Amino acid sequence: MTFKFKYEDVTKKPNPMVKINPLKRGSGKTVNLQDRVNTLNKSAAWKKTIKAWTNQSKQFDLTRLPKVSMEKLGSIDIDEDIQRALDDKHCANRIADPGLFDPALLQTAQCIKTTKGKFISIDSQHTVSTVAALIDAGLVPGHTDWREFEFPFQYIETNNLAYARRAFSILNGKGKKKQSAYQQMRNSIFIVRIDKDKSDQEDVDLEKKVSVAEKYECFPVETESDLAKYPGTFTNIATFKTLNDDEVEQSCEWHHKYFHYENVHVSLFFVFRDLCRQFGSAKIKLTPKFQEELAAMVQSCFGNLSQFQESVTEAHRRWTVQRYGYQAAWDDDAYACALIQLYQHFGGKERVAPTLLDHFDGLIEFFDQDILNLAE
């Protein structure tokens, strides 16, 4: 049986992302606060909020502004019913990492101050514990007693512990706008590309991966970004970051060669992660012929990886119901396993990693029959 499909070339057009990729270079733009005020004043959501303030006769209470002062570390208590348990690895490996530590980047101690003058931490235990322990270790010149060491405290005066609990929730996620995975990636990329700072190996390694992807016109973008409409863009940053350099190279090169006219589908990185690792363990090469036949099969049977995902998700559902009697949770390993099983079903003769055939044994039997019949 010969392999059933032949890849049909698709005319490659210039990708606008090559020129407008926001990670290629910074905008170099700064704006003043008036720009942001103007943005809010034009916002329908902001106007709705201002109307609600007016209807409720709410006013900005100036007496509730947080105060800032230098206070002794010995004056702070940590309420274990408010703060989580101390993460010693966070203190050791993140805050006090000797390669990254800079006192200028320490956050102020976020506290409440009771009428008895006692400070209770609501979001600072890891910072103050790290500073105190560094003094205890003799690493802060001129200071031997951390209890007497003065540190910047930001606080609200109250005896209300319920307020402290709500404040902890707000400062640690509830009500706080966190950086997205893309924003965190952008920071790392710009540190290396714009600031020319290569002191953090994680930033350097991530920039290298992104450079490899860009070489093949694959571009990370923000979720729901207007840029996501362009070919080669992807938003699954977390999965991308788990790949090693070779896996990024193989996946992006394959996409650029065969599906350059599409977005990078979420399944691509899972597929090539597993292909590279399983083929590598078996000392089997991902040959150009195998990769082209894989592209031909996806193109002929499904059109693209997006449609393949719909088919394999349904097949996986049927497979788990048949085997276990219920619908088990989706497993991303099924992507590569299904492709390899289908590849052999359609007459593919290139060597494949046997582990990908054993895992999800018989999965392709649950694909729609009209797809399987293409082998006839």
Q: In the listed set 95, 130, 159, which residue is the last one of a domain according to the structure?
A: 159
Q: Is residue 346 part of a domain?
A: yes
Domains in the chain: how many in total?
Answer: 2
pLDDT tens-digit profile of 255-284? 999 999 999 999 999 999 999 999 999 999
Q: Looking at residue 65, what is its pLDDT? A: 81
Q: If you compute the radius of gyration of the chain from its CA atoms, what whole number of angstroms results?
A: 28
Same domain? For 226 and 334 the reply is: yes
Q: Strand 150-157 to strand 219-220: parallel, antiparallel, or no bridges (unpaired)?
A: unpaired
Residue 358 sits in the same domain as residue 231: yes
* Domain span at 146: 62-159
Average pLDDT over residues 231-247: 96
| 233 and 360 inside one domain | yes
- Tell whether 222 and 327 lie within a shared domain: yes
CATH number of the domain where residue 116 is located: 3.90.1530.10
- Alpha-carbon distance 59 to 63, whole Å? 11
Residue 174 counted as domain residue = no
306 and 221 assigned to the same domain: yes
Residue 272 lies in a domain: yes
Q: Are residues 97 and 223 in the same domain?
A: no
pLDDT score of 175 more than 60: no
3-state secondary structure 14-75: CCCHHHHCCCCCCCCCCCCHHHHHHHHHHCHHHHHHHHHHHHCCCCCCHHHCCEEEEEEHHH
Residue at 139 is within a domain:
yes
Enumerate residues 6+ apart whose C-beta is below 8 A from 83.
Answer: 121, 122, 123, 125, 168
Q: Say whether both 147 and 251 belong to one domain.
A: no
| Confidence tier at 125 by pLDDT (50, 70, 90) | confident
Residue 116 domain flag: yes
- My answer on whether 145 and 249 are in the same domain is no
Give the amino acid at 215: K
Query: According to the model, what pLDDT value does residue 176 have?
Result: 47
Q: Please report whether residue 262 resides in a domain.
A: yes
Q: What is the mean pLDDT of residues 27-31?
A: 70
